[in-house]
Amino acid sequence: MMDDAQKTDQEPLAKRALAAHHLLGIAISAVLYIICFSGMISVFKEEIQLWEQSGDQTVSSLSPEATQVAAQNGMKADPTTAHVFIHMPTDQNQRAIVETDNKETYVDKDGNLGPEASRPWTDFLIDLHYYLHLPHSFGMIVVAIFGVFLFAMSVTGLVAHPNIFKDAFAFRRSKSEQIKQVDLHNRLAVWTAPFHISNSLTGAMIGLAVLSAAAVGTLKYDGDADVVFEPVFGAEPAVDSAPAPLANIAKALDYVNSKHGDTVPLYVILHDPETRGQYLQIMSEHPRRLIYAEKYNFNGNGDFIDTVGSADGHIGQQVADSVYKVHFGQFGGLPVKLAFGLFGIALLYIIHAGMRIYFIKRAAKGYAAAKMQRGWMAIVYGVPAMLLATLLLSIAMPSVAGSLVPIFWGGLVVILLGSLFWPDRTAHDS
């Protein structure tokens, strides 16, 4: 039998452990909320990016010859780069950009360099959703783990409700606040289940693929994770650094336009430019397909070698190349994006309603957690407030564009700490 002194010693410890457990649960929900909120906005990243670049030069098309000139000018501006990427203009994004390892620069219709590309808030947003502003290799793994959490919660939530279809439209408005929140939480979860299950699954796949590649690369390929992705994205030829003229990009583009004129070139990627081993890829979108793009491979002379197989290779290749479009709703045009936006709002409310139910239950049992609840509400309102603040600052004060990350997280911390000193309210009022 445990004496009274031992009980007295252990009870505070148990209470502290329970409080820590609850705080951890709220922290996990908060991070998930941030990922989902930024992801909901990221669906419209092309539109936001165009808006950010509204004052910059537009290019409706870039000829093969102009693309060659753009690559040459990119090399002159950054002669030590190991890669040259040319972002081809499309109907959705009428901007042409030449990107090297160190800079991105707009080009005009003739391939001449313009000002450096600038879209600070879009880049800030994407980095938040992909990596939570953490180092990229680590951040993507963290985000992937939360994708697994969301997928598991979605599936187990459906399984836990045997009358899910029978009660699909049940909403007991006249009942208690807890029952109303439970009904809203469950109904929205049912109606949007195809979205948040597929979205969480594809998000987890993207991140866990990086984790798996890093593990397999370490175990089998001396730390080279790129080798693991070769069956999906293709392998680069052996490096030959002997000097050579810049690859014949114009000839390669002419080939794609003539042989695959129903596709839309998105990117021209040149590896190891101006070397004998340089390797050219043209990523071209296939309309009415979920794959992001097929990769057409060429040698330095612009002669066609082969395709990677994203469009007609193994089913695994096609699925892997389709994950991105499915995750971000990049198919079906603006109507699908708007639907993804609405589904994203519903998912945010599902997360929020789940937390409200938790706090209401605690209050009903006499264990109200006012500070925790205020902290949660600080996240709910603080995340959109700080996203809006960073957007406005990036417009009004371009000089702070490089400081958006500390501004966002610093502001969120201030809001969170301020909420702890806010006057108490009823435990279920949110």
With cut-offs at 50, 70 and 90, classify the pLDDT of residue 177. low
- Residue 85 counted as domain residue: yes
- Rounded distance, CA 374 to CA 378, Å? 6
- Rounded distance, CA 280 to CA 265, Å? 13
- Rounded distance, CA 133 to CA 88, Å? 28
For residue 27, the one-letter residue type is A
Q: Which pLDDT does position 191 carry in this prediction? A: 81
In 3D, which of 40, 13, 75, 134 has the Cα closest to residue 337?
40
- Residue 254 counted as domain residue: yes
User: Which residues are registered as beta bridge partners of 298?
Assistant: 280, 304
- Rounded distance, CA 336 to CA 231, Å? 30
- Rounded distance, CA 367 to CA 385, Å? 30
- Residue 41 counted as domain residue: no
- Rounded distance, CA 408 to CA 383, Å? 8
Rg of the chain, C-alpha, whole Å: 26
In 3D, which of 64, 58, 96 has the Cα closest to residue 252?
64
Read off the pLDDT of residues 319-335 as tens digits, 9 standing for 90 and up: 888 998 999 888 888 99
Q: pTM for the complete prediction?
A: 0.85
Strands (E), 273-379: 279-285, 294-298, 304-307
Question: Looking at the predicted structure, is the pLDDT value of residue 173 above 70?
Answer: no
With cut-offs at 50, 70 and 90, classify the pLDDT of residue 14. low
Local structure of 193: helix, strand or coil: helix
In 3D, which of 18, 33, 13 has the Cα closest to residue 355?
33
DSSP code for 226: G
Query: Which strand ranges, in their side-by-side order, compose the sheet holding 294-298?
Result: 113-116, 104-107, 97-99, 83-87, 264-271, 279-285, 294-298, 304-307
Contact criterion met (CB below 8 Å) for 291 and 310: yes
- Rounded distance, CA 186 to CA 193, Å? 10
Read off the pLDDT of residues 277-288 as tens digits, 9 standing for 90 and up: 999 999 999 988
With cut-offs at 50, 70 and 90, classify the pLDDT of residue 93. confident
Q: Which pLDDT does position 132 carry in this prediction? A: 96
In 3D, which of 374, 375, 380 has the Cα closest to residue 427?
374
- Residue 109 counted as domain residue: yes
- Residue 163 counted as domain residue: no
Do β-strands 304-307 and 264-271 pair in parallel, antiparallel, or remain unpaired? unpaired
Report DSSP letters for 123-168, one per residue: HHHHHHHHHTTS-HHHHHHHHHHHHHHHHHHHHHHHHT-TTTTTTT
What's the domain range around 245? 54-117+235-307
- Residue 101 counted as domain residue: yes
Report DSSP letters for 398-416, one per residue: GGGGGGHHHHHHHHHHHHH
In 3D, which of 83, 130, 51 has the Cα closest to residue 328?
130
Average of per-residue pLDDT values in the chain = 86
- Residue 4 counted as domain residue: no
With cut-offs at 50, 70 and 90, classify the pLDDT of residue 407. very high
Continuous H helices in 240-333: 249-259, 315-328
Read off the pLDDT of residues 33-88 as tens digits, 9 standing for 90 and up: 999 999 999 999 989 988 888 777 789 899 999 999 999 999 999 999 999 999 99
Total count of domains within the chain: 1
Q: Which pLDDT does position 184 carry in this prediction? A: 73
- Residue 186 counted as domain residue: no
State the SS3 of 54-67: CCCCCCCCCCHHHH
